[in-house]
Amino acid sequence: MPAISFQPFKNMGAMGGLFNTESRGLTQGDAHDDPAVRLQLCSGSLDDALATPVWAGMGVTESIAPTDSNVSGSVIKAATATVCNAFSVINQAYHGITTAGNPVPLFLAGGSVHYFRIGSGARIPLPISDAVAALATTGDPVGADGFVWDLTNNLVDVASSASSANPTVAIKLLQVSLAGNLTVKQNTDGSVIWETDKPCGLFLI
C-alpha cells in the first residue's frame, strides 16, 4: 500500500477568533442568554391607559391586575417617579409591530410585552447617559447603588446627576460599550428608530 502523505488525525490549534468572549456593540433590550434565569422571562398585559408605545429596554412598572379586568397575569404600566420594578425586553417577542417609519418593534396599549423583573438576575443592555459611561474609566467594582431610570430620556443615569423625579433602580453595571450599539430614539414626530452612535451598558437586574 502507498504511504499516506498526510496525517488526517493530526491535532492543530484552533483558527484565530473562534473563542472570543465579547463582540462589538450591544442591542438595547436584548437580554443575554442565560439558562439560570431564562424561566424568569415574564409576559404581561400593557395598561389600556398607556399614551405611548413601549419598546425593548424600557423601565416599566409591573402591577397586580384588578379582579374585574379578566387579565391573566400582571398589568404593565409606565414607570413613575417612585416606581420602576422591571425592564421590557425583545426576547421571544415576535409580536412587536414594525412599520417603514418605525423599524423598532413596538408594543401598544392593550397588547402584551415581555419583561424581566428587577431582582431576576437577567443581564440586559440598556441605554446610558454620559455620566454612566464615564464609570467605565474609573476601575471601580460592580455596584448596585446610585442608578435611576431617566423618564424623560429613557435611559439609565447616575442619581447624582439626574432629577429627583426619576425612580431609583437597584441594578448593577457590568459593562459599557461606547460604539457599535443599537439603541432606541423617539423623534419629535413620534417615530421610533434605531441609533448606532449612543453608549449602552450591560446591567445585571
69-109 confidence digits (pLDDT tens): 666 678 999 999 999 999 999 999 999 999 888 899 999 99
Q: DSSP string spanning 137-149?
A: GTTPPP--SSEEE
Contact (Cβ atoms closer than 8 angstroms) between residue 114 and residue 185: no
- Name the nearest CA neighbour of 125 among 175, 192, 71: 175
Cell of 35: 439558562
Cβ-Cβ contacts under 8 Å for 114 (sequence gap 6 or more): 41, 42, 43, 88, 89, 90, 91, 92, 93
Q: For cell 423583573, what's the residue?
A: 117
Q: For cell 414594525, what's the residue?
A: 98
- Partnered with residue 195 across adjacent β-strands are 183
The proportion of the chain whose per-residue pLDDT surpasses 90, expressed as a percent, equals 60
Contact (Cβ atoms closer than 8 angstroms) between residue 43 and residue 73: yes
* Residues of the chain falling short of pLDDT 50: 12
- Name the nearest CA neighbour of 191 among 106, 101, 107, 105: 101
pTM value is 0.84
Instruction: Give residue 27's Cα distance to chain centre.
Output: 7
DSSP-derived letter for residue 186 is E
